[in-house]
Amino acid sequence: MPRPLSATIHTAALANNLAVVRKYAPKSKIWAVVKANAYGHGLARAFPGLRATDGFGLLDLEEAVKLRELGWAGPILLLEGFFRPTDIDVIDRYSLTTVVHSDEQMRMLEMARLSKPVNVQLKMNSGMNRLGYTPEKYRAAWERARACAGIGQITLMTHFADADTPRGVSEQMATFERGAQGIAGTRSLANSAATLWHPSTHFDWVRPGIILYGASPSGFSSALEGVGLQPAMTLASELIATQHVAEGQTVGYGSIFTARKPMRIGVVACGYADGYPRVAPEGTPVIVDGVLTHVVGRVSMDMLTVDLTPVHSAGVGARVELWGNNLPIDDVAKACGTIGYELMCAVAPRVPVRAE
Ligand SMILES: *Cc1c(COP(=O)(O)O)cnc(C)c1O
């Protein structure tokens, strides 16, 4: 028998979440963002649930090729562009669309030998200060792209830093409009947060990632109330042992938890080597036998321990949900001081994953 830990990918939830995006941005096409192995869900496993999209956005050439091999003939966008001249051969061969965010990339495209022009998304740095041309240099970059024989369609693109915070998008939108003034062309601006909360950013293409997987861009599960998203991944395991602990006894490495009364502890087959965060403090939510309880003691490599006080009946073999259908990944992430994105991306290769 393998360890009882596994992740389940909910294909119907992915399809539902894509439909939710369509409802929010009915006039836009969708780049379904599947970078980082579909946010940890597995590209091949996520693909069937998302195939009603208009295009896929990702980072690695290898993942782009894999999508083609899965039978996807539609648009694929390289969200960071490319890194070396030889990457352009792959872009050409597999008909990929690429971000262009720098003169180095522009120059590589000017020098490339291509069988046909490459469609590009010309990225403006509208305030995030990671990638892209400044608003002042944007028009010149666009003219240079237009003059490049190797470049086909040019979409105007930027990325928001605060679409999920009270700061919002207005400042970056104004900067974008200033830099893009008088430039015709389709536009691609909105990440998940902007797709949900800033309709003025939708334009021709939206680029949602996290909401396709049913988690919140802001890190607060409450922010998704009424939106209609469903979790695309459930991470579940079982109790492999229980312990009676007397008052004053401790649990696990570092003895960081001391029982204040006699209690039962459940030992779950899931640890930080499976991707569960070691930093998860006492109180991090866990569901055992359908009942909400929480982590006690330090998460170890292959196991974690939970308080069985609210679940008197739970014994070895009891089902444990670490996150998923009954426990928002955002709530687990919040307790750990991070966001759902990081937890789903961190599920370790040793965890068996199946799609349903
Ligand atoms: C990752 C990414 C997205 C998707 O972001 P979410 O917050 O997951 O919606 C959109 N655009 C770009 C350029 C990205 O890198």
Q: In the Cβ-directed half-sphere of 353, how many Cα atoms lie within 13 Å? A: 21
In a domain, 25, yes or no: yes
- For 12-43, give the DSSP string: HHHHHHHHHHHHHSTTSEEEEE-HHHHHTT-H
Q: Say if residue 259 is in the same domain as residue 203.
A: no
- pLDDT score, position 69: 98
Q: Is position 253 annotated as part of the catalytic site?
A: yes
Let me know whether 191 and 157 are in one domain: yes
pLDDT in tens, 58-67: 999 999 999 9
Q: Which of 24, 35, 138, 213 is catalytic?
A: 35
Judgement on whether residues 74 and 197 belong to the same structural domain of the protein: yes
Residue 4 lies in a domain: no
Q: Which residues contact 202 (CB under 8 A, 6 or more apart)?
A: 25, 27, 28, 189, 190, 194, 195
Phi, psi of 234 (to 5 degrees): -120, 125
Q: Say if residue 108's pLDDT is above 80.
A: yes
What is the Cα–Cα distance from 171 to 175, expressed in whole angstroms? Answer: 6
Co-location of 196 and 250 in the same domain: no
pLDDT in tens, 280-294: 999 999 999 999 999
Handedness of CA 355, 75, 20, 229 (dihedral sign): positive
Residue closest by Cα to atom 14 of ligand 1: 79
Atom of ligand 1 at shortest range from CA of 31: 10
Residue ending a domain, choose from 149, 180, 213:
213
- In contact, 88 and 82? CB cutoff 8 Å: yes
Closest residue by Cα to atom 4, ligand 1, is: 209
CA 8–ligand 1 middle distance (angstroms): 23
Per the structure, how many domains does the chain have? 2
Does 308 share its domain with 204? no
303 assigned to a ligand binding site: no
Q: 81 and 114: one domain?
A: yes
What's the predicted TM-score (pTM) here?
0.96
Q: How many A from CA of 317 to the centre of ligand 1?
A: 39
23 is catalytic: no
Q: Is 111 marked within a binding site?
A: no
Query: Which residue carries 């070396």 as its tokens?
Result: 84
* Per-residue model confidence as pLDDT tens digits over 13-42: 999 999 999 999 999 999 999 999 999 999
Selection from 7, 8, 39, 12 nearest residue 211 by Cα: 39
Distance CA 199, CA 126 (A): 18
Does any domain span residue 270?
yes
Q: What percent of the chain has pLDDT over 70?
A: 100
The rounded percent of the chain whose pLDDT value lies above 90 is 99
* Residue 121 lies inside a defined structural domain of this protein: yes
Distance from C-alpha of 42 to C-alpha of 59, rounded to nearest angstrom: 14
165 and 260 share one domain: no
Same domain for 277 and 191, yes or no, is no
CATH of the domain at 29: 3.20.20.10
Domain hosting 85: range is 11-213
> Does residue 97 line the site of ligand 1, with CB under 6 A?
no
What is the dihedral sign for C-alpha 46, 52, 58, 64?
A: positive
- Residue 85, domain member (yes or no): yes
Query: Residue 2's pLDDT is what?
Result: 81
Say yes or no: 169 and 30 in one domain.
yes
Nearest CA to ligand 1 atom 6: 209
Is 79 touching ligand 1 by the criterion CB < 6 Å?
A: yes
Residue ending a domain, choose from 144, 179, 213:
213
